[in-house]
Amino acid sequence: MDGTVTKGKPVVLHGHTHVPLHGEKQTGKTDPNSKLKVTLVLRRSRELPDLHSEFGGKHPRQRKHLTRESLATEHGMIADDITLVTRFAHECHLELSEVATHRRAVVLSGTAAAMERAFGVTLVELEHPRGSYRAATGNLTVPHELSGIVLTVLGLNTRPCAQRRRVHHQNTVKPFWTVREMADAYGFPAKHHAAAQSIGLIELGGGCHEEDLQKFFSSIQMPMPAIRWVAIDGVQNSPAPKHGIQQFLDVVEGKLKISEVSEDVLAAAQSTVEVTMDIELAAALAPGAEIVVYMAPNTEQGIYNAVSKAISSDGKPDKLPCALSISWGEPEIGVSEAYINCVDEVLRDAAMLGVTVCTSSGDDGAMNGSTDGKPVVNFPASSPHALSCGGSTVHTALGDDVKESAWNCALHGLHGATGGGVSRRFGAPHWQKEQGVPLGPTGRKGRGVPDVAGPADPHRGCAIFVGGRWCSSAGTSAVAPLWAALVACINSTLKARCGYVTPLLYELSKSGAKPLREITEGNNGFYKAGPGWNACTGLGSPIVQRLIEALRG
């Protein structure tokens, strides 16, 4: 262990190439004296056991989940690796800010000039309608002695790597139903609860006003839920002003033209509407559950830190969430390979720990803003370790008799459709190989998206209260918290963690239990809904009581 770390020839760390946003413009070099923080993700001390042989289609009570302590000690970082990284930081005039053993992460801080020298890149500043950000140009390198030790470097690039598609739809009618009516229609037991469960919400900016929550839960005669806010990299609960939220809702409802409101006001208001919606739906559908809101910056580093911290105590006592709800995403071709790999690895950790990760499949149909004319799915919805949630339009709901089609408002002069298709980054998982998933846009087999569905059409949305005003839930952003809440209720009922439930749902869909309602009508602009799994609504929407009984049995 003697000698310097930087003496060997630098090794290129592949997968870190900046993925430009269409229309971005370079404005100059990054100030060499500006202060930066980067997160280095290190290798494991030992590989995880095979996920599918551990769980497969097993009942939740048969699954042997890891503990956070065993994940950190048996599969965490190697002490000698930390020593080498510490020496590297010292030689490059970087400060060791944090060593997070539970997350295999080391945080370094220093000037932009020092970072450029340490990693062999040039840092530049960029402008785009989505904001200003930084990017690293050139091949990112690490010293030869750190090759295979440092897997990912996050924080040099600050390009926004997730977005919620804004749904433009005019003349929206009042909310179709209340949260209780929706729960009844989907079969949530009348006296269901999620006591002792914790639901994590991963949010990228915005926030909510407490008085909105008080009004909402008072209206449904439910006590205020326990809500805990966790700031990631300094991002706090920062709701938009109420007048800005009201302007946004006026645009959504066709009372104002989008050109009459500034982009900044719309973006801030939309983030607040989304955060408020996530909290209200998750808490209302899972009474008694603690809601933990992780507020993070919309960067590769911020998202990785939020998701990894949500499932890791980093040595501090904290309740492990039973489910995470992630209501955002970005087309797979729009983010770096390194980011996809490290976040997918965290989602695998979540599965091994017994945490169900519910992700929205996107609100822009199968094409999803594609830049090459071919369908593209969202990440992290495309991760095989997530439960990907697509969207439906509810046409009728008489008792528990729900009639649905794939959500696609484009047929009515509106814009918004459920995301879905075939991954370009992930191969076909074994539990989808007999589901008729078509070949992907590159001609290869891939992971089909989504897995399940729920109500996403704003014309048939659930009543939420935000900015002092009632409005309708909208998008697959509303489906992810619904499924997270459902998982919390199931866990509470079964007194066991569903955890990596995705393969099990595919097993149950082939049984006589039929716990999911197939959605066979509609399309998402490229793929058509149909019997069995489809690339619009997956296996279908939940028949909750039937799903609970199927899992119980």
Domains and CATH numbers, the chain: 11-43+78-154 (3.30.70), 179-552 (3.40.50.200)
What mean pLDDT do residues 112-128 have? 97
The single residue of 81, 145, 212, 278 carrying the catalytic annotation is: 278
Count Cβ atoms below 10 Å from residue 462 Cβ, excluding itself: 26
- Of the pLDDT bands very low, low, confident and very high (cuts 50, 70, 90), residue 174 is confident
Is the pLDDT score of 411 beyond 50? Answer: no
Find the helix packing angle between 263-285 and 242-252, rounded to 10°.
Answer: 90
- Rounded to whole angstroms, what are the CA distances from 320 to 68, 197, 309? 9, 9, 10
Is the pLDDT score of 169 beyond 60? Answer: no
Flag the least confident range among 185-189, 298-302, 462-466. Answer: 185-189
User: Please, what is the Cα angle at 402 between 398 and 404, to 5 degrees?
Assistant: 135
Is the pLDDT score of 253 beyond 90? Answer: no
Given this model, what pLDDT does residue 206 score? 94
Query: Which stretch, 56-60, 382-386, 547-551, has highest mean pLDDT?
Result: 382-386
Given this model, what pLDDT does residue 166 score? 56
Q: Report d(CA 236, CA 205) in Å as an integer.
A: 8
Residue 174, Cβ density class (10 Å: 0-12 exposed, 13-18 middle, ≥19 buried): exposed
The single residue of 81, 116, 203, 274 carrying the catalytic annotation is: 274
- Of the pLDDT bands very low, low, confident and very high (cuts 50, 70, 90), residue 453 is very high
- Of the pLDDT bands very low, low, confident and very high (cuts 50, 70, 90), residue 413 is very low
Residue 352, Cβ density class (10 Å: 0-12 exposed, 13-18 middle, ≥19 buried): buried
Given this model, what pLDDT does residue 412 score? 39
Residues 6 or more apart from 191 whose CB is under 8 A from it? none
344 belongs to the catalytic site = no
Residue 384, Cβ density class (10 Å: 0-12 exposed, 13-18 middle, ≥19 buried): buried
Q: Report d(CA 456, CA 115) in Å as an integer.
A: 44
What mean pLDDT do residues 182-210 have? 92
274 belongs to the catalytic site = yes
Is the pLDDT score of 167 beyond 70? Answer: no
What mean pLDDT do residues 42-46 have? 95
363 belongs to the catalytic site = no
| CA-wise closest residue to 99 among 117, 67, 72 | 72
What mean pLDDT do residues 313-319 have? 68
Is the pLDDT score of 410 beyond 60? Answer: no
- Of the pLDDT bands very low, low, confident and very high (cuts 50, 70, 90), residue 531 is very high
What mean pLDDT do residues 308-336 have? 88
DSSP secondary structure of 313-349: -TTS--PPPSEEEE--BEEGGGS-HHHHHHHHHHHHH
Query: Cβ distance 529 to 393 under 8 Å?
Result: no
Query: Cβ distance 412 to 542 under 8 Å?
Result: no
User: In which region does residue 251 sit, left (phi positive, over 0), alpha (psi from -120 to 50) or beta (all else)?
Assistant: alpha
Q: 34: which DSSP letter?
A: -
Flag the least confident range among 36-45, 59-68, 293-302. Answer: 59-68
Q: Report d(CA 290, CA 359) in Å as an integer.
A: 19
| CA-wise closest residue to 476 among 340, 357, 325 | 325
What mean pLDDT do residues 419-434 have? 95
Is the pLDDT score of 281 beyond 80? Answer: yes
Flag the least confident range among 1-15, 70-84, 135-149, 445-459. Answer: 1-15
Is the pLDDT score of 537 beyond 90? Answer: yes
Residues 6 or more apart from 347 whose CB is under 8 A from it? 307, 357, 380, 383, 385, 386
Share of the chain above pLDDT 90, in %: 77
Is the pLDDT score of 62 beyond 80? Answer: no
Is the pLDDT score of 6 beyond 70? Answer: no
Q: How does the average pLDDT of the chain come out, rounded?
A: 92
Given this model, what pLDDT does residue 171 score? 56
The single residue of 198, 370, 405, 477 carrying the catalytic annotation is: 477
